[in-house]
Amino acid sequence: MSPMAQSAPASGAPEPGALQPLLPSDPSQLAGYRLLGRLGAGGMGVVYLGRTANGELAAVKVTHAEQADQADFRARFRREVEAARRVVSPWAVPVLGADPDAPEPWMATAFVPGPSLGEAVRGHGPLPERSVSILGGAVARALAAVHTAGLVHRDVKPGNILLAVDGPRLIDFGIARATGETGLTSTDMVVGTPGFLAPEQAEARADEIGPAADVFALGCLLAFAATGRPPFGSGSMDALLYRTVHDEPDLAGVPDGLLDLVRQCLAKRPAERPTAEEVAARLTEDAPGAAADWLPAPVVTTIAARSAAMLALPAIDATAPGIDPAAAQKPSRRGFLLLGAAAAVLAAGGGAYALIDARRDDDTQGDGKAPAPKRNTWAIGLLADLSGPAKEIGQAQERGARLAVEQFNALHKGKPFTLELKVSDDRGDRGGALAAARRLTTDPSVVAVLGPTSDDTGQAALPAFEEAGLPLLTVSAGYNMLALRAAPSPPNTTVLRAIPNHIMAGTYLAWTATLLPQIRRPGVLQERTDDQYSWQYTGGVRFGFKYAGITPHFRVVPGRATDYRKIIGEMIDAGIDAYVHCGVRSTAVRAARALKELGFTGPKFTGQHVFGSAFLEEAGAAAEGWFVCAPVVDPVARAADAKQKPADHKAVQDFLTAHRKRYGTDPAFYTGESFDVVNMVTSWLFTSAAKGPLSRKGLWQALRAQSYTGAMGGYQFDDHGELKGVGTFVYGVENGAYKAIGAAPSSPANKKA
């Protein structure tokens, strides 16, 4: 597959959403717009809500100055402005102003207070058939205007469709291209969003990318709106690109009245797809004008709430031209309405008020005349799944973090500051993870955060930490892109990963298997329930076996597969002498039962997403003899290891004693690592407090550079924030329990290549 660029620099900010407070570093004015808050932010820039002197609201996209200095950037941004201005349609957001030549190029478009299609579906579920039909007709008409202007949008996706009471709006022409134009983008670069691009885009066939590519994306969009999921699934970029080119779409749940049209839009060959005009003609029902009944009630409520929030924004500046300053200060009915709306906003979610108030307290005593008193309480944040699917891990992390904070306060009573633990439960829900993260990142007392529990919530929450410059330390999220960023994205200065990423963990698992010299033909199953994890883990396993000179038998199955007896039977017939499961717990249970039923006697291996008590309970006797690699140490086994250095032995024994005293039980897996990581932060804070005022600025770099030894072992990080060393540990299932075997090897035991 070709290299991937998900969006051009001008389109780096994510979809505009609910209004967030301005940061201290944000400007208050830009080119005649008073900036009122943030609608979104990313590595390439920020989208602000702005208002002109006459009260007109706009979404103002501002790019970072360092992006503007990159080759081709201004040409791309200028092209985005020109493309957006060429499109004339009631269903495309118009450009109100722009300056591609400014030190930080900007563009203002009309503000739509509603959510994006993606946000609406994630928050409220799929749309009914009538809503999808009206949505499709309006977007098709917008695309017809794009194509009439001689352009191809090339990034039609749920985040680029905003929902308003009078119909949807198409936004973002950052990677739009004139038909037949190939300049400014490498011919071998895939441009667009995986899962919402055409096969010709997925294979970077530049000469074939035309209006039909937008129609294919429209088909993906309609399927998503109707079912709540993309028709080619989710997961890694390579997997999505492969499925887009080779697999048939999953259209289960698309209403019968739309099914044929969606299928035609998703034809693999561009010539077999209808035009945007033909799609619009077939979706004959007009958009609803001023009525809001084209959308489900919960979505309308969201639009209404955001519209009401606009009423609660600050009044137009009294010094603006044409406004009488005296008159502006007189009470009015609008003033009372604004007061009521503001109260409603604060009642619904006081995070914005809390941040503004806390920012004032950091700078003054409230009257603007004197510095605020020095802060004597700081906080460690915990972002974890405490009540969702991974609550076993999240609750263990909370115990470890709380124990570390309590220990710090007990040891340093009366010292420069006291520590608190502030907890935010993301419930394992990707849709709510960003809001859960912002409860911590907007709190100025929080200096660093332990979390997240899972990959999905980590990806969703990451923008909040990047915007705030707040370190995020994880002991359980192994998705590689949380720390390793592909160019042209800015390098990671946010995440410290205290475990191996999934690719390296898969490599260590393969090298663990080579400790058994009889293995010559391992079978490797990649199942796609969590495609992102399984694809990365399989990639590591593939590399590990290749480096050892071993050729496995690979099999890939969809996540919905249930007949594991047949799947495993075919692998056994192919001559496998070991089994490696790259997938989640539920499918590992199926595989374990099938292997037992079929009498397979070879060794069986799996990784992090299977490790835990649930696998033992659900697989029962079929789990016996499995080897499971996980990024955690058994603290009881570590305490019993007489080979440790005396200081290390004392550290783990003290941890066990403290945990037993505090909680009355031995610590669960992931508790010790959380205890260590929080102690790593607090030890740096205590040392630094003696040198001057504490600040979270520069903390990531300071933590990354240090070497720390805790109860569970040592922690060092490379320049990317990735853990140095192996960090993967092997467990065997024996008599229904995990038995610690030791650390995974750092190289294959029987290397042949």
**Catalytic residue numbers?**
155
Question: What is the C-alpha to C-alpha distance for residues 215 and 225, in angstroms, rounded to an integer?
Answer: 15
Q: What residue type is 487 in one-letter code?
A: A
Beta bridge partners of 177: 152
What would you measure as the largest C-alpha separation in the chain, in angstroms? Answer: 89
* Contact (Cβ atoms closer than 8 angstroms) between residue 645 and residue 490: no
- 526: nearest Cα among 614, 617, 606: 606
Q: Are 506 and 538 in contact (CB under 8 A)?
A: yes
Measured CA distances, 531 to 172, 201, 528, 609 (Å) = 28, 21, 4, 12
SS (H, E, C) 688-708: HHCCCCCCCCCHHHHHHHCCE
The DSSP string of 646-687 is HHHHHHHHHHHHHHHHHHSSPPPTTHHHHHHHHHHHHHHHHH
How far CA 147 is from CA of 10, 80, 214, in Å, comes to 21, 15, 9
For the purposes of burial, counting CB atoms within 10 Å of the CB of 58, is it exposed (0-12), middle (13-18) or buried (19 or more)?
Answer: buried
Instruction: Specify the pairing of strand 553-557 against strand 522-527.
Output: parallel
Contact 380, 422 (CB under 8 A): yes
SS3 content of the chain, % helix, strand, coil (to 5): 40, 15, 40
- For residues 8 and 76, the answer to whether their CB atoms sit within 8 Å is yes
CA angle 672, 716, 403 (to 5 degrees): 25
Contacts 24+ apart (CB under 8 A), 515-520: 515/745, 515/749, 516/578, 516/603, 517/749, 517/750, 518/577, 519/550, 519/577, 519/578, 519/602, 519/603, 520/550, 520/577
Name residue 443's amino acid: D
Q: Are 404 and 412 in contact (CB under 8 A)?
A: no
- Residue 588: exposed, middle, or buried by beta-carbon count in 10 A (0-12, 13-18, 19+)? buried
Residue whose C-alpha is closest to residue 279's, from 295, 289, 267: 267
Q: What is the 3-state secondary structure (H, E, C) of 342-362?
A: HHHHHHHCCHHHHHHHHHHHH
Cα torsion angle, 515, 519, 520, 526, sign: negative
Across-strand partners of 438? none
DSSP three-state, residue 257: helix
